[in-house]
Structure 1
């Protein structure tokens, strides 16, 4: 995505770095909602009953939770599959659509295996996986430094409204990652309940922002390398820039990263289905979401080039992710991070979160209003909203966040009073 800022949007290095830094602020939102995890001791897909009601939450989790999970499974698996195909190509295997499908199935199968074993396996293995990936990606960055062109300037420098348009589009692409982590409470919920909220928020936010800034900036710098086509052949840059003996190790590291990240996503998504009240065990639930993500991945790998598929999906997904994040953040702040996990797990009409016949119209209406505002301001190849068409700017994220959060505060304050004591 850092490379897209340079190779696709035509930004200068300084402009790309500004967009990267600005988008990293979105991780603060991810950190804020993580505070609800230890407080409630349950997953985000259950905590959101406080925002939408017991029955309304089923609709939201069913439509939005699974949609986000499936799309991000597809994005990450696509990256792993592209790398796997590149490695197999170096081994002499012809790059066919069939081989691409096989690679996707293998990667998704390994991911599901980790997700099935769940929390216990994640706790035991992820510290080692994380340290391995840090070392591999730092070494990769060091090897690529000779190819960085710090004096790089676009062939046609952007200015005025055209520059503003490209920077807002880039911002939307990059900030879509932090605002999509609606499942951050799922990871934090295992922390002791007495853990200070600011520590939970800071660890979550910095854990996403710092590596994001570093490696997205590295991607932008790689795109300045002479002869590197980061749009049609993203693996080609690494193949040409890395030593022959290290390139396979880098490829394996990307695949491992994809499996590790998607295993957590699949694990969270499997709990989301249970939160709908459907009588299904976690393992079959994980398999269902994996099948959906695998299908999307096969389409993106077989039909579209990787960079285009990722760029388009990241832009469009903000219409759902932004308002979801905004309502969640507003609720956490209004409640000062205090949640009753026992009450949240009560799905009967006696629950404090039953609201009106199981529906909290304040949360649901805010979600709809935020989504409409975001769609009106979206500027993508798939869809251009009327506001974006008039201004040329992509303001889908700020519009969705502000309208959804503002609506939620205005519509729900009196109803929430009983829960804020």
Structure 2
């Protein structure tokens, strides 16, 4: 058996990280030393609030009403689906415990080699898809603004707007953790003020007695509630990167506090703004959300609203690109963090150009949010189950060591308990999902009821727990 070092490998970024806002973060996935781990868990509230004071929440809320739900039904779906932010909070606690990124912690779930294959899907492709989704939303708003300024409605103008927004986002990701923490504290306040104004106008216009022309009943209602839950819950399930934003906290930080501040920072704005989107749809045509909301805002405030949409996208995608760059390093690509961020940015920009200039935006949003849960739900379930089994006891140096025979090498570099759990959970989820172009056979047999998330997560958690216990691959702490 080859012994592995007790210290973390040299940074891919080329030395000690300058953990100060406004300075480039050079640290990649390497271990964060104790003397650079400062702060308290409560700072995570603003870090997670800024990305979730979101225009897309309006879009999702409006979609629930467009699907035929009543206002109380839509609010119930929003409250239930948003509860899954608890899982995002729970896995954030592994960041300070390990002192490294979530994409390295996941070696405990899948093994050194198996983790690389999983990260290609979850850390690259899905991250790039979410970059494209959010950039599309901001670009729709930005293109409308530049057209008001007199620029022509031309694909070249749209492409330029997309590239400018993408470039600004990647700049945040390149500057890294300290800049994100400082910047997002200010953005969370600014965006909240803007969206409070929007909320006030929506409440003034809302039809509180709204009822669908043909209320859903029976199987149709159950199917719609299931689809709505999947769309709402897909957002918290997509944030498997929460350890990355918490890893600079001291190792002895309270796991409960980390989970609570992370989850509440995302949950509260998500619930409020998604509900406001549903209220907007009771009196406005939310098939074109931006135009609908702008129609009730004062003319002078519309550019402010558009700017807020763009700033929110910078916050959301800055976080996503930051973590995706770390995932590229975790796979083993010998890139410093900055080139890694730029690589994922190029992929996301290309997908945005296609999604916005070729496909219908609203259709793209709903389809993607329903499909990604096939992977993100089971992956989140595996992560939470592993954390519970280990009682959040992760050793950063062991996770970073990749030699044969190391504690996370398992069988030929693959932890089959994790891989099997992810595959069976994903397959189960696929059988239960309902989208515009694919309905799983079990969902079809049950009247098109979408239970992709609870079925996939439940199976993944059960398989991981049972197989890890049977094979004794996860030691009892």
Equivalenced residues, count: 417
1:62 is aligned to 120
1:396 to 2:452 alignment: yes
> 2:272 is matched with which residue: 188, 198, 214?
214
Could you tell me which residue of structure 1 aligns to residue 248 of structure 2? 190
Aligned counterpart, 1:322: 377
User: Hey, what's the Cα distance between the residues in 1 that align with 2:133 and 2:404?
Assistant: 39
Structure 2 counterpart SS, 1:419: coil
Tell me the alpha carbon deviations over residues 65-115 of structure 1, each in whole angstroms, 9 at most, x when there is no partner. 212211111111111101101212322333332222111111001111111
Q: Tell me, what secondary structure is at the counterpart of 1:224?
A: coil
Cα separation, partners in 2 of 1:163 and 1:325, compared to 1, 3 Å: same
- Aligned-partner Cα distance in 2 for 1:192–1:46: 18
Where does residue 371 of structure 1 map in the other structure?
426
Unaligned stretches of 5+ residues in structure 1: none
Matched residue of 1:182: which SS? coil
Q: Where in structure 2 are there 5+ consecutive unaligned residues?
A: 1-59
Query: 1:6: which partner in 2?
Result: 65
Does structure 1 residue 359 correspond to structure 2 residue 414?
yes
Q: Is the partner of 2:78 in helix, strand or coil?
A: helix
The answer to whether 1:342 aligns with 2:397 is yes
Does the aligned pair in 1 maintain the 2:468–2:474 contact within 8 Å?
no
Structure 1: distance between partners of 2:255 and 2:174: 30
Asked whether 1:255 is paired with 2:310, we answer yes
2:346 to 291, 296, 317: 291
- Could you tell me how far apart the structure 2 residues matched to 1:287 and 1:396 are? 33
Out of 52, 55, 76, the position equivalent to 1:18 is 76
**TM-score, L = length of structure 2:** 0.85
Post-superposition offset of 1:417: 6.2
Whole-Å Cα distance in 1 between the matches of residues 155 and 445 of structure 2? 41
Cα deviation per residue 1:308-359 (whole Å; 9 max; x = unaligned)?
1100110011111111101001001111111111111111114211111111
Q: Distance in 2 between matches of 1:208 and 1:123?
A: 15
Structure 1 counterpart of 2:33: none
Is the Cα–Cα contact under 8 Å of residues 71 and 279 in structure 2 kept in the other structure? yes
Quote how far apart the aligned CAs of 1:416 are: 4.8
Counterpart in 1 of 2:463?
Answer: 407
Cα distance, 1:419 vs. partner? 3.1
Residue 264 of structure 1 corresponds to: 319
Query: Matched residue of 2:293: which SS?
Result: helix
Q: Are 2:385 and 2:464, in contact at CA under 8 Å, matched by a contact in 1?
A: yes
Cα distance between partner residues in 1 of 2:302 and 2:280: 15
Give the CA deviation at 1:123.
Answer: 2.6
